[in-house]
Amino acid sequence: MFLPLLALAGCMQQPHVTDFKSTICNSDGTVTFYYKNDNAKDVKVDVQFAGRNDMKKDSVTGLWTATLGPAAADMYPYCYVVDGVSIMDPECAAYFPNEGFKNSLLEISDSSKNLPHDIRDVKHGKIEYVNYYSENLGAVNHAVVYLPPSYFDGTDKKYPVFYLISGTTDTEEVYSKVGRANYIADNLVADNKAEEMIIVMPYGNPYKLLPVMPDAASVPQTNFGKDIFSLDFTNDLMPYIESHYRTINDKDHRAIGGFSRGGNQGLSVGLHNLDKFSYLCSYSSFTSTEIEDVYDNAESTNSQIKLFWLGVGTDDFLYGNARDYTEFLDKKGIRCVKEYTSDKFGHTWMNAKYFLNISMQLLFKPEAAENAMSNAKPTLAATGNEKQFTPGVMARLFPKPLISPEYTENSIIFRFKAPESQKVELVTEKQRFEMQKDTAGIWSVTLNNNIFEPFTYHFEFDGTPTADPQNMYITTSKKFKESISRHPNCSYNYVSTGKINYGQVSYDFNNNTVTYSSTENCEESVLLVPTTTDAVDSWFVIGAANIVADKLISEGKIKPCKLTTDSSVKVCATIKASDFSTWSERQKALENLLISKFGK
């Protein structure tokens, strides 16, 4: 059995001051949290199953501790709140990818039963990270693609495709790292409960990739169909997937769905394109009731949809809107399956995983889907107390964020909100910079030198280090995680590389390796060795090794090649991260190595 690329915090032995694990799952279902910080005056732990709670400092060990629960076996986001600032657990490898907040992930296991998302001893598919130039965006967009175990058996078999979209402020990684979609699919296939399928997980907020981000008020959050996301999805992403993978390209072999905003986007794209999709799923969401030729033509709509599946928690802040939507469908005579929960803390990824596991068992199975549709229950009766999603709720849950880092033509501005802190510094690979506080409690500093080189950094407030909460790009280190600065004018950045052919970065979960392959077939490989503290994919996440190769190939400077962390394959050269001090130096060394080995 392999170890996952990002090991979650779990059940560990009793800690010592200099050698401790930050979470212990106790036999009674409670969890004890440990955190070391000699500078903090007040520390809380905020975990999804218990909310925010005070931690107490042990006078003997010096560790801050709290025991919470009991909680059901599942995966839970959590963070520490240190003197009013939320930070990730510096001892935990697994984290919640997000544009804004940064949480760590806790996994509570149950040996008495298999949970849908457990990493079991079964055949595992692969995850590939893909980049493609979007004509509608005028920029490079990203997606994560799951390929089932049999995809690499050497046959020409083609597969149905499930497009799965994550929620507001989530990145394209969330449905794999938090939603465990790949492991849920592996387990269902191993148990003969689901069809093998390709799962495509796109980035749901491509506005963020534009050179100039539109004003937040002008970006549609609930009105989809002809927005940039929808246009990119149907006109750029789908053609890319269907030209690069062995897909079955008809409506009966395409499904679309998502969680929260992604559920809205999925339903909208699906209902606007019933010639392309016959399986539609929404997890904790709803969509517009004004889609032409869909709601007022029930007979035609019902004949085109094999599965219309909607799930929501009755304690979800979107429940009122989701319930109203299914009631609207009932009144219009449009068939749909409804699934309700009340025990998974509302609008959470516990619900998202649960809904995904149930609905995937119906995808691309016409008889099973028809049975579920025929036996669908009506919408729950209204009580008058349903929560409704309003612009005010939106503003409270997703306040306008700081911009950090802000890239200008000749500088980078870093910002960090810490009103109660007395001193905040920006710490890069090479030096420290003191930051200045304004009247709103926001600290900032502007860099003008060496800004076009990639580098890692973090903030340090009153002696406590933390990643930049506003930067969606962070390292995948085994413990403490840095943020990544990559100026748009860096040599190896998607903004500067633009419209070229991009290879794929493939994660092999059977062997715990990562491999880049260019778009053309190639045999020779370069072995990339991370440092002892970095995760196996650090050369790609931080060093952008795949972009280095992509650009050199596109410029005709090198032949197609492979880059891998797999030491068992034959390689023509090796490069070790530990031989260099900074990621800029490592990137330049890799460029020189590739030119020397594969130069034309």
What CATH number does the domain located at 23-108 have? 2.60.40.10
Query: Measured between alpha carbons, how far apart are the two ends of the chain, in Å?
Result: 42
Q: Which CATH number fits domain 126-374: 3.40.50.10860, 3.40.50.1820, 3.30.450.20, 3.40.30.10?
A: 3.40.50.1820
Residue 224 has pLDDT above 70, yes or no: no
Res. 211 pLDDT band, cuts 50 70 90: low
Residue 217 has pLDDT above 50, yes or no: no
Residue type at position 147: L
Can you tell me which residue has the tokens 């219009």? 332
pLDDT in tens, 88-97: 999 999 999 9
Can you tell me which residue has the tokens 């880092």? 405
Q: What is the mean pLDDT of residues 573-584?
A: 96
226/425: higher pLDDT: 425
3-state secondary structure labels for all residues of 553-582: HHCCCECCCEEECCCCCCCCEEEEHHHCCC
Within 8 A by CB and 6+ apart from 26, the residues are 32, 67, 69
- CATH superfamily of domain region 406-485: Immunoglobulins (2.60.40.10)
456/228: higher pLDDT: 456
pLDDT in tens, 148-202: 999 999 889 999 999 999 998 999 999 999 999 999 999 999 999 999 999 999 9
Residue 234 has pLDDT above 50, yes or no: yes
Q: What is the mean pLDDT of residues 127-136?
A: 95
Separation CA 9–CA 494 (nearest Å): 33
Residue 214 has pLDDT above 60, yes or no: no
Residue 427 has pLDDT above 50, yes or no: yes
**How high is the pLDDT of residue 8?**
53
**How high is the pLDDT of residue 4?**
40
* CATH 2.60.40.10 residue window(s) in the chain: 23-108, 406-485
Separation CA 70–CA 144 (nearest Å): 34
Separation CA 204–CA 268 (nearest Å): 13
**How high is the pLDDT of residue 395?**
74
**How high is the pLDDT of residue 17?**
54
**How high is the pLDDT of residue 557?**
96
3-state secondary structure of 368: helix
Res. 493 pLDDT band, cuts 50 70 90: confident
Residue 442 has pLDDT above 70, yes or no: yes
DSSP 267-314: HHHHHHTTTT-SEEEEES----S--TTTTT-HHHHHHH-SEEEEEEET
Residue 320 has pLDDT above 70, yes or no: yes
> For residue 53, which phi and psi values (nearest 5 degrees)?
-140, 145
364: left (phi over 0), alpha (psi -120 to 50) or beta: left
Residue 1 has pLDDT above 70, yes or no: no
Whether 252 and 274 have beta carbons less than 8 Å apart is answered as no
* CATH 3.40.50.1820 residue window(s) in the chain: 126-374
Residue 144 has pLDDT above 70, yes or no: yes
**How high is the pLDDT of residue 265?**
95
From the list 495, 506, 481, the residue with the least C-alpha distance to 176 is 506
3-state secondary structure of 395: helix
Separation CA 336–CA 233 (nearest Å): 24
**How high is the pLDDT of residue 362?**
98
Q: Which two three-digit tokens encode residue 522?
A: 């190639």
pLDDT in tens, 17-42: 567 899 999 999 999 999 999 999 99
**How high is the pLDDT of residue 101?**
87
Q: Are strands 56-57 and 103-108 parallel, antiparallel or unpaired?
A: unpaired
Residue type at position 333: G
**How high is the pLDDT of residue 18?**
62
pLDDT in tens, 368-419: 999 999 999 999 999 998 888 887 777 777 777 789 999 999 999 999 999 9
Can you tell me which residue has the tokens 């905003």? 261
Q: What is the mean pLDDT of residues 423-450?
A: 96
**How high is the pLDDT of residue 556?**
95
Can you tell me which residue has the tokens 């009631």? 327
3-state secondary structure of 408: strand
Cβ neighbours of 317 (radius 10 Å): 18
User: Burial of 148 by CB count in 10 Å (0-12 exposed, 13-18 middle, 19+ buried)?
Assistant: buried
pLDDT in tens, 259-306: 999 999 999 999 999 999 999 999 999 999 999 999 999 999 999 999
**How high is the pLDDT of residue 3?**
35
